[in-house]
Amino acid sequence: METPISIEVRDLTIAYGDHVVQHDLNFTVNTGDIFVIMGGNGCGKSTLMRSLIGLQRPAEGSVLYSGRDFWNVDHDEHQRLKRRLGVMFQGGALWSSLTLAENLALPLNQYTGLSPQLIDEIVSLKLALVGLAGFGEFYPAELSGGMKKRASLARAMALDPDILLIDEPSAGLDPLNARRLDELILELRDSLGTTVVLITHELASIMGIGNNSVFLDTETRTMIDTGDPRRAVQSGDPKVRHFLTRGEA
Amino acid sequence: MPRDNNAQRWQLETHRTDGNGLEIAFAGRWCLDQALPFPDALTTELTDSIDRLTFKTDLSSWDSGFLAYLFRLLKLCAEREIQVEQEGLPEGVRQLLAMGNAVPEQKIAGRESEKPLLFRVGSAMLDFLQDAPASLDFLGEIILAFGRLFTGKTRLRWGDLWWEIEEVGPRALLIVSVISFLVGLILAYLGADQLRMVGAQIFIADLVAIGMVREVGALMTGIIIAGRTGSAFAAKLGTMQVNEEIDALKTLGISPIDFLVLPRILALLLMVPLLTLYASFIGMLAGLMISVTIFDIGLFEYYNQTVSALELEHFMVGLIKGSVYGAMVAYSGCMRGMQCGRNATAVGEAATSAVVTGILLITISASILTILFYQIGI
């Protein structure tokens, strides 16, 4: 393992053409954090994540991974940094023509020189970690919603990423399964030391496992608070408190 | 940070401990970016005389590679009924191994990956036989939908129809022009070579005119539309199937046939005959240009010959064929789209199958119509 990496976002503006989605974002994700990006529908959470994982170039500002400017390093370095990120997309994004085992093995075959036997073993370990032992030969279409979420978490972890970025993990899950997924993320963070960036508007997740956060506002199109969400609900900006108490404060 | 060069690499040693125990000492770096060993290599050490396994670790770093090694090793030990004491492993490793073993492996029956050849041939044949009633079923539904349309029980969405008409008609003009022009040119050359032998080159005009209007115009248009529009229908309806958009229509009590299939079929029924006429005209234009410039036939001579060769019934034949081919493409495209499965591969298969089915149906109906028109003498 290389030295653990942190994320620094500096004066970031994200936009679609002339339409500014969010501007002047400044926050830091420390190693080992469970960092929550929160905000109402349409505030730009997913767009911000696309800038963090290399799918959408920001209009201005920079994203620094351990001090290296993600969008302005050379191609090889950009790819190397990307490989240290694991991404779990909102809809799972499992490749539908591959079995679960093949979904997990693809990045390992692509980027490591491991023996096929060891890759098989890693795949069955990762599936076991998310509670899907024995489902390797299934196609994504044959799984329930909750199983797809867990499988896509397993794929995001296939290359042992330093940073795991997760878009709406609990969307479409029942409260118990949502909580089990939160606990799973927490356990993986504790055992593997992975930094987690979580996009969610699920209060239970924000308060339950988040220890750092940024709040994106829909009206002013910028961030209005960053820090521990449990502090924010006590003493933060009124808008953040309003959000975190479901409009009761 | 690695302390020395040895710490850069994985190291493994085994010692017999007192009695029947074995101790494995892991040291160095156990990470995925190097060629890690596979635990089955240890089988020589894990003999029958061993009934207890302990660990000692001095790792500079580890990741899933190490976990996978242990995961496999624990399975081997379980098979051999060797008792494992995990105290010597790092805390995080023990936690993850516990998580990995928390949910027992599902044994799922009946998932053989490779079936025998005879089985696959048989099941392909059964699929094919099952396809026929499904196709007839779909045809029936379309006919019922037309019935509802003409009795006023369903309203046609004119906006959708216009949109489809523009998509399948005017937007196909360029490709139809290019292909018909080149086919007209080929017909003219083919005729010129043969007719020169009997000194009747002027009959190039008859060959090109009747050939384009009766057969080739409609056939080429049908094939272009099958590739261009039939596949698009299947891909679009298939994607709507994947996104549950078609289910959403059904739950609202809206027939997807009325809503999605009718406008598409009508658009093709209206546009393909027009495209056929247009294609015939372009083909004849190509014949004229080639004959006048290359084979030294007079412009008016060629024109008069063309006019005298063509009769109204030739146009009727071409238009009927064009309509039938249009219907075949619309039918196969919509059917494959509506039958599509729920994943990306299925959408690809639907589009492919729409084109294959469309061209097959065009060819079959072309043969039937040609024989039929010959028999009734038009």
Q: CA of A106, closest CA in chain B: separation in Å?
A: 14
- Kindly state whether residues A126 and A168 are assigned to the same domain: no
- Kindly state whether residues B241 and B361 are assigned to the same domain: yes
Q: Which of A122, A141, A159 sits opposite B342 (nearest CB)?
A: A141
Residue A1 pLDDT more than 50? no
Residue B124 falls within a domain, yes or no? no
Q: Which of B100, B108, B342 sits opposite A125 (nearest CB)?
A: B100
CA–CA gap between residue B183 and residue B186 (Å, rounded): 5
- Kindly state whether residues A205 and A129 are assigned to the same domain: no
Q: Is A60 on the interface with B (CB under 8 A)?
A: no
- Kindly state whether residues B234 and B86 are assigned to the same domain: no
CATH number at residue A212: 3.40.50.300
CATH number at residue B85: 3.30.750.24
Q: Which of A100, A114, A55, A54 is nearest to A78 (CA)?
A: A54
Residue A141 pLDDT more than 90? no
From the number of C-beta atoms within 10 Å of its C-beta (0-12, 13-18, 19+), residue B19 rates as: exposed
CA–CA gap between residue A148 and residue A168 (Å, rounded): 13
Q: What is the CA radius of gyration of chain B?
A: 36
Phi and psi, residue A144, nearest 5°: -80, 170
CA–CA gap between residue B38 and residue B255 (Å, rounded): 58
Q: For the segment A118-129, what is each residue's pLDDT rounded down to a tens digit?
A: 889 899 888 988
**pLDDT by 10s per residue, chain B, length 378:** 344 455 678 888 888 887 788 888 888 888 887 778 888 877 777 777 788 888 888 888 888 888 888 888 888 888 888 888 888 888 888 888 888 887 777 776 556 667 888 998 998 888 888 888 888 999 999 999 999 999 988 888 888 899 999 999 999 999 999 999 999 999 999 999 889 888 888 999 999 999 999 999 999 999 999 999 999 999 999 999 888 888 888 877 788 999 999 999 999 999 999 999 999 999 999 999 999 999 889 999 999 999 999 999 999 999 999 999 999 999 999 999 999 988 888 899 999 999 999 999 999 999 999 999 999 987
How many CB pairs below 8 Å do chains A and B form together? 95
Residue A178 falls within a domain, yes or no? no
Compare A134 and B212 and report the one with higher pLDDT: B212
Question: B53 and B21 in contact (C-beta within 8 Å)?
Answer: yes
Q: Which of B144, B351, B355 is nearest to B242 (CA)?
A: B351
Classified as helix, coil or strand, B304 is helix
First and final C-alpha spacing in chain B: 90
Task: Using an 8 Å CB-CB cutoff, list chain A residues near B35.
Answer: 113-115
Q: Do A140 and B35 touch (CB under 8 A)?
A: no
Q: For the segment B186-215, what is each residue's pLDDT rounded down to a tens digit?
A: 999 999 988 988 888 899 999 999 999 999
- Kindly state whether residues B28 and B79 are assigned to the same domain: yes
What average pLDDT does the segment A76-94 reach?
86
User: How many independent structural domains does chain B possess?
Assistant: 2
* Cross-strand pairs, B1: none
Structure tokens at A180: 């089990």
What does B197-260 look like in DSSP terms, one character per residue?
TTT-GGGHHHHHHHIIIIIIHHHHHHHHHIIIIIHHHHHHHHHHHHTTHHHHHHHTT--HIIII
Domain span at A245: 1-84+162-173+191-249
Residues B157, B244, A147: CA angle, nearest 5 degrees: 170
Long-range contacts, stretch A14-19, CB < 8 angstroms, 24+ apart: A14/A44, A14/A47, A14/A48, A14/A51, A14/A56, A14/A58, A14/A59, A15/A59, A16/A47
ipTM of predicted assembly, 2 dp = 0.74
Which residues of B lie closer than 8 Å to A, measured between beta carbons? 31-33, 35-36, 38, 40, 61-65, 67-69, 71-72, 92-93, 95-96, 99-108, 111, 113, 341-345
Please report the pLDDT score of residue B2 as a whole number: 41
Residue where a domain terminates, one of B102, B120, B155: B102
- Kindly state whether residues A2 and A102 are assigned to the same domain: no
Q: For the segment A86-114, what is each residue's pLDDT rounded down to a tens digit?
A: 888 888 888 887 889 999 998 888 888 78
Q: Which of A163, A4, A82, A125 is nearest to B65 (CA)?
A: A125
Residues B349, B233, B326: CA angle, nearest 5 degrees: 115
Closest chain A residue by Cα to residue B342 = A141
* Cross-strand pairs, B23: B15, B54
Q: Count of residues for chain A?
A: 249
Residue A181 falls within a domain, yes or no? no
Q: CA of B80, closest CA in chain A: separation in Å?
A: 19
Residue A11 falls within a domain, yes or no? yes
Q: Which of A113, A129, A138 sits opposite B35 (nearest CB)?
A: A113
Q: Is A129 on the interface with B (CB under 8 A)?
A: yes
Task: Using an 8 Å CB-CB cutoff, list chain B residues near A121.
Answer: 38, 68-69, 71-72
Q: Which of A97, A117, A128 sits opposite B38 (nearest CB)?
A: A117
Please report the pLDDT score of residue B369 as a whole number: 95
What average pLDDT does the segment A49-66 reach?
89
Domain span at B29: 11-102
CA–CA gap between residue B361 and residue B351 (Å, rounded): 15
- Kindly state whether residues B73 and B182 are assigned to the same domain: no
| Encoded amino acid at B310, one letter | L
- Kindly state whether residues B40 and B149 are assigned to the same domain: no
User: How many independent structural domains does chain A possess?
Assistant: 2
- Kindly state whether residues B211 and B318 are assigned to the same domain: yes
Question: A151 and A92 in contact (C-beta within 8 Å)?
Answer: yes
Q: Do B71 and A125 touch (CB under 8 A)?
A: yes
Q: Do B33 and A112 touch (CB under 8 A)?
A: yes
Residue A186 falls within a domain, yes or no? no
Residue B133, CA distances (Å) to B126, B130, B153, B338 in order: 12, 6, 27, 15
Task: Using an 8 Å CB-CB cutoff, list chain B residues near A124.
Answer: 71
Q: CA of A86, closest CA in chain B: separation in Å?
A: 14
CB atoms within 10 A of CB B97: 21
Task: Using an 8 Å CB-CB cutoff, list chain A residues near B349.
Answer: none
* Cross-strand pairs, B12: B26
Closest chain A residue by Cα to residue B346 = A97
Compare A147 and B43 and report the one with higher pLDDT: A147
